[in-house]
Amino acid sequence: MRTVPYFINDERVDGEGDLLVYNPATGEVNAHVPIADAQLVDNVVAIARNAATTWSNSSLSQRTNVLFTLRQLLVEHADEMAAIITQEHGKTIADAKGELARGLENVEYACGLIEHLKGDFSSQVADGVDVHSVREPVGVVAAITPFNFPIMVPLWMTANAIASGNAVILKPSERDPSAAVRLAELLKEAGLPAGVFNVLHGNADTVTQLLEHPGIDAISFVGSTPVARHVYLTGTAHGKRVQALGGAKNHMVVLPDADLDIAANAAINAGFGSAGERCMAISVVVAVGDVGDKLVDKITERMDRLTVGPGDDATSDFGPVITKEHRDRIVNYVASAPSDGITVVRDGTSWASKPGFFVGPCLLDGVKPGMKAYDDEIFGPVLGVARVATYADAVAMVNANQYGNGVAIFTRDGNAARLFSREVTVGMIGVNVPIPVPVASYSFGGWKNSLFGHSHIYGPEGFAFYTRAKVVTTRWPLPSESQIDLGFPRTR
């Protein structure tokens, strides 16, 4: 049985495989994953700190060359990377390639590091005094990434961190870690010096060691809200800069004037793509006014045409969820929905009896705040429909939710969309766009319990997070004030 290696100081390093990686489409064990102990964490942090000292002094052109080469290598190995992701995560090949493409956007953005790391200069702020600022790397960054995007989220973090001159220790999800190791190999091939990028595997104890280690300067995390809160509190208590992105309950508000065919298509794609295992997936469609029945009919009609199957089958619209335990959790939400007064319009839980970790598409009508199917982040192919009377009711529902990651509104009314964008307390908003993940030149992140710390991920805020500002105030003596004769003419 294969054991996924660490990647330390430019080398694959074997370890004891205690954790299991499954193929979610079959339920079979794919590999074992080692757990880094405290001694190994100490060793890797020391390697990273040593490498960061050299890398932070590298030229910006050298860093740019590495990133341009990495981008080309990722393009050349796209099929290979997608296959690795599909085998361990279960998402379709098309989804895996889409994930890689969104990660590549951030690599391309980071290639502009010469512009992103520019400082400011002010001349003659006082008599003979100039001031300028520079941005310098923070040092060693621990990147702790989730299972649902095993290549995109690491690229969201590490491209900017490396471009800024930091060393990175990536701790990928133990459920699908192989893409991270392959990324490390491609970074080595791209010319990144040894020790600047390392991959450690492990469990919650390994994460705690990184959060508390005095040699780690910054923590980037994406995961569930309870863990994000823990990461933020623990990391900051140990003096680290922390960005921790948590969970979500994303709404899609459909106004009475919306094109319902477009809205139904969007609900299908955003609700069931990647088996709903996206932090930006739409999990609640909010039908405003009298559109509920028509919208449910259109969504149901499209759901009935979806194909569920292995990710490497080109006919599959979406694949399995990540583990048996997660599958069973999703099934329990659907099974308990009628006791809350919810109508189960489509029940895809019969797929749970098949080999692998499959759940078919599920549609729940009549979800409301206070019901578990509404309040909790189910993180699966379960779409809820909430019905409200007015636009104001829809805004109130969105704003009352504990999460504030993403929201979408479907309407033909530009003023309604404008008001909605101003009134909702959510970090990312889509107007007739169901999954409003910003392009790489803007930053990604939510509000409320979807983000702990003030910094969003990637884009301009990513570069700001991975660097520290330094301000230099300069005054040079006039030639006439110098005690050394430099040959300058002196005024009489």
Q: What percent of the chain has pLDDT over 90?
A: 95
DSSP state at residue 284: E
- Segment 311-332, tens digit of pLDDT: 999 999 999 999 999 999 999 9
In this predicted structure, what is the pLDDT of residue 27?
Answer: 97
Does residue 161 carry a pLDDT above 90?
A: yes
Does residue 491 carry a pLDDT above 60?
A: no
Instruction: Examine the residue annotation and report whether 279 is marked as an active-site residue of this protein.
Output: yes
Nearest CA to 145 out of 176, 121, 107, 124 is that of: 176
In this predicted structure, what is the pLDDT of residue 43?
Answer: 98
One-letter amino acid at 386 equals A
In this predicted structure, what is the pLDDT of residue 29?
Answer: 96
Mean pLDDT of all residues belonging to the chain? 96
Cross-strand bridge partners of residue 287: 254, 387
Where do the domains of the chain lie, and which CATH numbers do they carry? 2-246+450-473 (3.40.605.10), 250-431 (3.40.309.10)
Nearest CA to 398 out of 292, 285, 270 is that of: 285
In this predicted structure, what is the pLDDT of residue 485?
Answer: 66
- Segment 228-241, tens digit of pLDDT: 999 999 999 999 99
Cross-strand bridge partners of residue 363: 346, 383
How many CB atoms are located within 10 Å of the residue 333 CB? 21
Instruction: Using pLDDT thresholds of 50, 70 and 90, give the confidence band for residue 486.
Output: low
Does residue 151 carry a pLDDT above 80?
A: yes
Question: Which residue is catalytic, options 111, 279, 282, 407?
Answer: 279
In this prediction the pTM is 0.95
Q: What is the dihedral of CA 390, 394, 397, 398, to 10 degrees?
A: -160
* Mean pLDDT to the nearest integer, 464-491: 81
How many CB atoms are located within 10 Å of the residue 332 CB? 13
H/E run at residue 83: helix 78-89
Q: What percent of the chain has pLDDT over 70?
A: 97
Instruction: Using pLDDT thresholds of 50, 70 and 90, give the confidence band for residue 490.
Output: low
Would you state the structure tokens that stand for residue 254, as one six-digit string? 């459909």
Does residue 482 carry a pLDDT above 80?
A: no
DSSP conformation letters of 141-174: EEEE--SS-TTHHHHHHHHHHHHTT-EEEEE--T
Strands 241-245 and 250-254: unpaired
Nearest CA to 271 out of 257, 288, 286, 259 is that of: 286
Backbone phi, psi, residue 48, to 5°: -65, -40
- Could you give the CA distance from residue 367 to residue 341 in angstroms, rounded to a whole number? 8
In this predicted structure, what is the pLDDT of residue 352?
Answer: 84
Q: Which residue has the tokens 């459909």?
A: 254
Contact 7, 45 (CB under 8 A): no
Instruction: Select the more confidently predicted residue: 270 or 484.
Output: 270
Rounded alpha-carbon distances, angstroms, from residue 38 to 17, 62, 142, 215, 233: 16, 33, 15, 13, 21
Instruction: Using pLDDT thresholds of 50, 70 and 90, give the confidence band for residue 296.
Output: very high
Give the CA angle between residues 425, 160, 40 to the nearest 5°: 105
* Mean pLDDT to the nearest integer, 87-111: 98
Instruction: Using pLDDT thresholds of 50, 70 and 90, give the confidence band for residue 477.
Output: confident
In this predicted structure, what is the pLDDT of residue 67?
Answer: 98
Q: Which residue has the tokens 């379960």?
A: 382
Contact 254, 263 (CB under 8 A): yes
Backbone phi, psi, residue 40, to 5°: -65, -40
Instruction: Using pLDDT thresholds of 50, 70 and 90, give the confidence band for residue 142.
Output: very high
Does residue 249 carry a pLDDT above 70?
A: yes
DSSP state at residue 19: E
Instruction: Using pLDDT thresholds of 50, 70 and 90, give the confidence band for residue 17.
Output: confident
Does residue 492 carry a pLDDT above 60?
A: no
- Segment 56-97, tens digit of pLDDT: 999 999 999 999 999 999 999 999 999 999 999 999 999 999
- Segment 344-402, tens digit of pLDDT: 999 999 988 889 999 999 999 999 999 999 999 999 999 999 999 999 999 999 999 99
Contact 235, 242 (CB under 8 A): yes
Sign of CA dihedral 196, 197, 199, 205: positive
How many CB atoms are located within 10 Å of the residue 476 CB? 10
In this predicted structure, what is the pLDDT of residue 488?
Answer: 61
Contact 65, 163 (CB under 8 A): no
- Could you give the CA distance from residue 179 to residue 87 in angstroms, rounded to a whole number? 10
* Mean pLDDT to the nearest integer, 129-142: 97
